[in-house]
Chains A and B, each alone.
Chain A
Amino acid sequence: MVNQVVRKSFAALSGLGALTTAAALVILAAIACGPSAPAPTATPAGAMPAKPVAVAPTSADLGGGSPEAFARVFADALASSKSRPVSAFADAAKPLASGQKLKVGFIFVGSQADLGYNQAAYEGSVWLEKHMPDVEVLRAENVPETAEVQRVAEQMIRQGATIIFPTSFGYSGPIKQIAGRYPNVVFLHQGDLETRENYGAYFGNIWQLEYAAGQVAGKMTKTNKLGFIAAFPIPQTLLNVNAYQLGAKSVNPKVETTFVLTSDWCDPAKQTTAVRTMIDSGVDVITQHQDCTKTIVEAAERSNIYVTGYHQDASPAAPRAWLTGAAWNWGPVYTELVSEIRNGTYKTSVIFAGLEAGFVKLSPLGKSVPADAQQAALATVEGLRKGTIKPFTGPIKDQKGAVRIAAGVTPTDAELQTIDWLVEGVTGNIK
C-alpha cells in the first residue's frame, strides 16, 4: 500500500523532468553569461535646469554641524592639494549639452537596504540626486571587492558616467589599477588615504560618535563588559573600538571591551554566533563594525542585551535594546564633491572631517537611556564638535600598558588613521 503511494509519487517526480528541461535552458544561459553581477541601473531624476547649482547645506542638513566648517574643510583640502584642477582633464567639468545629464556612478559592496554602510551611502546618493537635478545616478549593489568592481566601473563609464564613487574600502586597489586607463573620469573613493590625479578620497571621523556611544554603553552596562564585533583589523575599525572603550571608560573605570573579528563584512551566521559567544562570556552591551548591521541589532533585541548602532540609524529594529549609534551623513559630502568637479575647481585630495562639518551624526537615543544619560551624550557630542573634548589626547596606553600617546599630545586626523594597536581595556588580538 505504502509502496504503491511511493511508486506513484516517484512517477510524479520523474514527470517533473519535462518542467526541468525549461529550467535547464535557463541554466545554460546562466553559464553562458557567467556569474552575473547586477547590472547598473539608471535612476532618472526629476526636472533639469541647464546649469548645475552649488548646493550649500544648512546646519540641519549637517546634523548640527556648521556650514562654515563644512565649506572650510573643502577649501582647505583644495588649497593643500598638489594635483591639477579637474577642469584640465575631467569630462564632468565640461559643459553639458542641453537636455543632457551628468552621469555619476555609485558602486556598493552590499545591499542598499542593509541598515548599515551601504544604506548610508545609498541614501547619500539619493540626497545628491534630489539636490542636483541635472545629475543622473547609476547604481550597482553587491559588487565584490575584486576585479569585478573594475568590470562594473568600466560598464558605468561605457554608459556615460564621468564620476565614479566606489564606496567600499576594499575597492581602492582594483580601482586605482584602472584609474589611469580612464584619465577623463574622476574616481572618488570612500576611505582611501592616497590620491592619483583623477582619484580622490574622502572619509569621516566617525570614531567621534563611537566615543559618545561608548559613553552611553559604559553607563548602561551592568556587567562592565562591552562587546565589539568587527570584520577586519583595519585602522578605521581599530580607531572605532579604541574610541568606544575610551568613551566607556570616561564614565565607568571598571569597563572592558571584548573585540572579535568575523573576517567578513557581512556574514549573518557568524555575526549571530559572535553575539551568542559574547553573551555567554557576560557581555551586556554590544556594538559592531560590520557592513550589514541588522542581524546583530535584532539579535541584541531578542537576547535582552543593549546595542549601539553603526553606519546608520537602526533604532526601529530594536525598540528596547537600542541605545544610540554612530551614523554617516554622506548626502552633503557627495553633493559638494560633485558640484566642485562640475565647476572645475576640484583637485583630488584626501578629505577628512567629523562632527564639526557634519560628515557624521549621532543616531537617535533609545528610550531605554535615562534622561540624564541622554543629556550627557548630547553634551559630549557638542564637546566633540567644538573640540573641547579630545578623546585621543595622551596619556593613552595600549593593551600591554605601554604609553602610546604621550601626555598632552593630540594626534592629527592623519595620524589617527594609521593606528595599529588597541587601547588598555580592550580584550582581543589583531596581528
Chain B
Amino acid sequence: MNIFWLVLGGAFTGAVGPGVSVLYATYGEVITERAGRINLGIEGSMLMGACFGFLTAVETGNVVVAILAGGLAGSLLSGIHAYLVVFRDTNQLATGLAVTLFGAGVTAYAGRSFVGSSIEGLNPVAIPLFSNLPVVGRALFQQDLLAYAAYALGPLLWAFLHYTKWGLSLRAVGESTNVAFAAGRNPARWQVAAIMAGGLLAGLGGAQLSLALTHSWTEGMTAGRGFIAVALVIFGMWSPLRAMIGALLFGGAIGLQLQLQSIGAPISPFILDMFPYIITLAVLTVWTGAALRAMPEGLKGVLKGTV
C-alpha cells in the first residue's frame, strides 16, 4: 500500500512539473482553435518563450520581465502564422510546421551563448496548509507562481469563452466567419488576435519550462510538448477545463514512468517511456466521436480526415 501511495505521489509530482508548460500551450491552442484556426507553430512559440524568457532573465535578472518577454516572443512568432494563414490564406498545417522550424532555428541561434548561464529563476512557493495535504499536497501546492496562475487560468478562460461578449464573438468567428461578419464582427481581426493570444500563452508555457521548472535553456528543450498540446486540445474537446485534465494526465504519465522506474517496477523502461504518448493516443482514439461533435465548424475544413 505504501508503494501505491509513493507511486501515486510521484505521478502527481511529475504531473504538475512538466504538465504546466503543456497546459499553457493547450490553453493557447484552445483559444486559437475556438476562433477557427489551427496553429502547429505552438511548439515554436513555446521554444521562443523558453529561449527569450531565459535570455531576458540572464540579462535583466528580473523574472517578471523575463516572463513577459517569453510571452511576447511566443506571441510575435505566432503573429507570423496569423499573417500567413489569415491574410495570405496559406495551408494552416504546413505554415504551422514551418513556423515551428523557424522558431527552432531562431532560438538555437539566439540562445547559443546562454546554454551555460545560470539564473535565479522562479522558485516554488508553498501554500500553507494545502501543501501539507497527503499525496497531492506537495505536488499541487508547492509550485511556482506560473503554475498557480495556470490553475486559475483554466476556469477564467472557460468563463471568458462562455460568459463574455468577446468570448461569444470569438466562438462565433470559429463556427462561421460569414455569420460573425454579418453580425458586425471582423473575423480576420478576431482570428489574428486569437492566434497571437494563443502564441502568448504558449510563450508563457515555454517560459515556465525554462524559468521555473528547469532554470536552463537548451536547444529544442520543449521536445515536442507543443505538439502534444495540439492533441490535448482535441482530448479536451476545445474546453480549457478539460484541457487541465489532459495536461495533468500527460504530465502524470511522465511522472508515473519515472516513479515506476525508480521503484524498480518489472516493466521495461522503453515501454514506460512510451507511456505519455500511448495515453495521448489512447485518449484520442476513445474520444474521437465526442470530439468531432465538439469541434468548431471553422476547423472542420482543415481537420477533416485527420481526427
Residues from chain A with a CB closer than 8 A to the CB of B79 are: 16, 19-20, 23
Among the 9-residue stretches B64-72, B149-157, B208-216, B280-288, the one with 4 or more Cβ atoms under 8 Å from chain A is B208-216
Complex CA distance for A17 and B219, rounded to whole angstroms: 29
The residues of A that contact B55 with a CB separation of less than 8 Å are none
Give the complex CA separation of A21 and B90 in angstroms.
Answer: 13
Contact B264 A428 (CB under 8 A): yes
Q: Are A277's CB and B10's CB within 8 A?
A: yes
Interface check B102, CB cutoff 8 A: yes
Evaluate contact between A281 and B221: CB separation under 8 angstroms: no
- Measured CB to CB, the closest approach of chain A to B94, in angstroms, equals 9
A353 interface residue, CB < 8 Å from B? no
Given contacts A261-B273, A273-B255, A429-B261, contact A30 B213 (CB under 8 A): no
A23, A31, A269, A431, most chain B CB atoms within 10 A: A269
Q: Is the CB of A270 within 8 A of B102?
A: no
Produce 1/0 per residue, A249-281, CB < 8 A to B: 000000000111111101111111110111011
Q: Which chain B residues border A292 with CB–CB below 8 Å?
A: 115, 216, 218
**Chain B facing A: main interface SS:** helix
Q: How far is the CA of A342 from the CA of B7 in the complex (A)?
A: 57
Q: How far is the CA of A270 from the CA of B255 in the complex (A)?
A: 9
Interchain CA distance A295-B121 in the complex, whole Å: 12
For residue A10, CB closer than 8 A to chain B, the reply is yes
Asked whether B166 is an interface residue with its Cβ less than 8 Å from the other chain, the reply is: yes
Flag if B13 contacts A276 (CB, 8 Å).
Answer: yes
Pair A268/B214 contact, Cβ less than 8 Å? yes
B84 touches A264 (CB 8 A): no
Instruction: Say yes or no for A136: interface residue by CB 8 A criterion.
Output: no
Known: A20-B82, A111-B218, A270-B18. A36 touches B105 (CB 8 A): yes
Q: Which of B169-219 contact A (CB under 8 A)?
A: 186, 188-190, 192-193, 196, 209, 213-216, 218-219
8 Å CB contact of B112 from A111, A227, A271, A281: A111
The residues in B between 225 and 243 inclusive whose CB is less than 8 angstroms from any CB of A are 225
Q: Is A113 an interface residue (CB 8 A)?
A: yes
Question: Within the complex, what minimum Cβ distance (angstroms) separates A14 from chain B?
Answer: 5
Q: How far is the CA of A24 from the CA of B80 in the complex (A)?
A: 6
Give the distance in Å from the alpha carbon of A274 to the alpha carbon of B256 in the complex.
Answer: 10
Contact with A along B49-79 (1 / 0, CB 8 A): 0000000000000000000000000000001
Inter-chain contacts of B267 with A (CB < 8 A): 429
Within 8 A of A (CB), among B77-120: 79-80, 82-84, 87-88, 98-99, 101-102, 104-105, 108-109, 112-113, 115-116, 118
Q: Does any Cβ of B come within 8 Å of A99's Cβ?
A: no
B269 touches A430 (CB 8 A): yes
Q: Is the CB of B101 within 8 A of A273?
A: no
Contacts of B270 in A (CB 8 A): 263
Are A17 and B264 interface neighbours, CB within 8 A? no
Taking CB atoms, residues of chain B closer than 8 Å to A119 are: 116
Contact B87 A272 (CB under 8 A): no
A398 at interface, CB cutoff 8 A: no
Q: Check A13 for interface membership: any CB of B closer than 8 A.
A: yes
Closest approach, in angstroms, between the C-beta of B18 and any C-beta of chain A? 5
B166 touches A6 (CB 8 A): yes
Give the residues in chain A near B87, CB-CB below 8 Å: 17
Number of A-B residue pairs having CB atoms within 8 Å of each other in the complex: 179
Q: Which residues in B have their C-beta under 8 angstroms from that of A36?
A: 105
Q: Nearest CB to that of B117 among chain A residues?
A: A113
| B-contacting residues, A99-133, CB 8 Å | 110-111, 113-115, 119
CA distance A11 to B186 in the complex (A): 10
Selected from B14, B83, B263, the residue in CB contact (under 8 A) with A17 is: B83
Give the most central of B14, B221, B262, B267: most A CB within 10 Å: B262
A419 sits at the interface (CB 8 A): no
Known: A13-B189, A27-B102, A276-B13. A281 touches B263 (CB 8 A): yes
Quick one: which of A271-309 are within 8 Å of B by CB? 271-274, 276-278, 280-281, 292, 294-295, 298-299, 302
Contacts A111-B115, A269-B209, A277-B259: A263 and B265 contacting too (C-beta < 8 A)? no
Across the interface, which residues of B come within 8 angstroms of A430, CB to CB? 269
B306 within 8 A of A: no
Instruction: Check B108–A261 contact: CB distance below 8 A.
Output: no
Least Cβ–Cβ distance between B152 and chain A, in angstroms: 21
Would B10 and A280 count as touching, CB distance under 8 A?
yes
With a cutoff of 8 Å between Cβ atoms, the chain B residues found around residue A274 in the complex are: 258
Is B223 within 8 A of A14, CB to CB? no
**Smallest Cβ-Cβ distance to A298: which chain B residue:** B215
Q: Contacting B219 at CB < 8 Å: which of A24, A35, A111?
A: A111
What residue of chain B has the Cβ atom nearest to residue A314's Cβ? B116
- Chain B 242-267, CB-CB to A under 8 Å as 1, else 0, gives 00000000000011001101111111
Contact B80 A20 (CB under 8 A): yes
B298 on the A face (CB < 8 A) = no
Question: Judging by beta carbons under 8 Å apart, are B223 and A267 in contact?
Answer: yes
Check B262–A258 contact: CB distance below 8 A: yes
Known pairs A21-B83, A263-B273, A268-B218; A428 contacts B262 (CB<8 A): yes
Chain A residues 34 to 80 lying within 8 A of chain B, measured CB to CB, are 35-36, 38
Q: Does B296 contact A (CB under 8 A)?
A: no
Instruction: Return the contact of A281 from the options B6, B105, B218 (Cβ within 8 A).
Output: B6
CB distance from A403 to the nearest CB of B (A): 20
Q: Contact check, B262 vs A427: say whether CB atoms are below 8 A apart.
A: yes
B259 to chain A, nearest CB (A): 5
Whether B26 sits at the interface, judged by CB under 8 Å, is no
Q: A1-21 toward B: CB 8 Å interface, digit per residue (1/0)?
A: 001001000110110110111
Decide if B123 is an interface residue (CB 8 Å cutoff). Answer: yes
CA distance A152 to B79 in the complex (A): 33
Contact B255 A277 (CB under 8 A): yes
- List A contacts of B186 (CB < 8 A): 10
Give chain A interface residues in 126-161, CB to chain B under 8 Å: 141-142
- A159 and B73 CA atoms in complex are apart in Å by 36
Residue of A nearest to B220 (CB): A142
**Residue in A closest to B19 when the chains form the complex, CB atoms:** A273
Q: What 5 A-B pairs are tightest by C-beta distance, nearest first? A: A113-B116, A20-B83, A268-B214, A427-B264, A111-B115
7 other A-B residue contacts (CB within 8 Å) besides A14-B188, A35-B101, A273-B14: A30-B105, A113-B113, A267-B221, A273-B17, A273-B254, A273-B258, A294-B116
A-B residue pairs in contact (CB < 8 Å), sample of 15: A27-B98, A260-B258, A260-B262, A268-B216, A269-B21, A270-B254, A273-B255, A277-B255, A277-B258, A280-B9, A281-B263, A294-B118, A295-B215, A427-B263, A428-B262
